[in-house]
Amino acid sequence: MKKTKEISEELDKMFPQPKCELDYNNVYELLVAVILSAQCTDKRVNLVTKNLFKEYNSPEKMLTLSQPELESKIYSCGFYHNKAKNILSMSKDLLDKFHGQVPNNLDDLQKLAGVGRKTANVVYSEAFKGDAIAVDTHVLRVSNRLGLATTQNPYKCEIELMKLFDKSSWGKLHLQLVHFGRYKCKAIKPDCNNCPFTKFCDYYAKHNS
Ligand code: SF4
């Protein structure tokens, strides 16, 4: 599809080597960071994990913390009660069911307590170089504005994107769409004047007619 190809080419020009912006040193840390990143900026998560991971960088070590102790360490990420509960349950699942190792496939990742499809996709793609498109708030917004998806349901959006783009590009595409949404096509006041996609964009058409 011509439009899809053009969008890929432009994204490649804008973000030739997109990188995950969460800091981590091992797959377990990545999984914890992704759980913390729900409704929170990567920058904030990195500030919190910089201290947290100094001591608590494995499921065994994390489980030495009580829930209130972990909550106090991750408080500034928001939703700290649920996030602490999920991190501790996920750590226990890793030890009980996976010998303390983060599984390297989507099915097992989603069996971990507190790990939904988006989190599993991010870890699968980032840590294991698996083919996956994680749909977060940025990917959902940008995909709809560009007419790549016509749904507010993240799972349906993922399926629509997977149909449009070559499997080998999914991991990179996810990161490119996240970066494009985070830095250019922001929720409020997107940078339309410097965007190569105006001719495809429903948002632009609506706000410039
Ligand atoms: S034209 Fe504006 S709203 Fe549309 S994709 Fe570009 S930055 Fe986003």
Tokens for 17, please give them. Answer: 């080597």
CATH of the domain at 42: 1.10.340.30
Q: Cα(68) to centroid of ligand 1, in Å?
A: 42
Which residue out of 83, 93, 118, 172 is catalytically annotated? 118
Residue 19: the pLDDT is 96
Mark whether 96 is an active-site residue: no
Same domain, residue pair 123 and 137: no
Residue with CA nearest ligand 1 atom 4:
201
> 184 catalytic, yes or no?
no
| Domains in the chain, number | 2
Q: Give residue 208's pLDDT.
A: 82
Together in a domain, 120 and 39: yes
Is 198 near ligand 1, meaning CB less than 6 Å away?
A: yes
Query: Got the DSSP string for 17-79?
Result: S----S--SSHHHHHHHHHHTTTS-HHHHHHHHHHHHHH--SHHHHTTS-HHHHHHHHGGGS-
Q: What is the mean pLDDT of the chain?
A: 96
- Reported as a single tens digit per residue, the pLDDT across 16-66 is 999 999 999 999 999 999 999 999 999 999 999 999 999 999 999 999 999
Residue at which a domain ends, from 128, 162, 191: 128
Name the pLDDT band for 202 (thresholds 50, 70, 90).
confident
Which of 184, 192, 193, 199 maximizes ligand 1 atoms within 8 Å of its Cβ, making it the mutation to test the pocket?
192
Q: Are residues 118 and 190 in the same domain?
A: no
In a domain? residue 187? yes
- Whether residues 138 and 199 share a domain: the answer is yes
Residue 14 near ligand 1, beta carbon < 6 Å: no
- Report pTM: 0.94
Atom of ligand 1 minimally distant from the CA of 196: 6
Sorting pLDDT into bands at 50, 70 and 90, what band is 199? very high
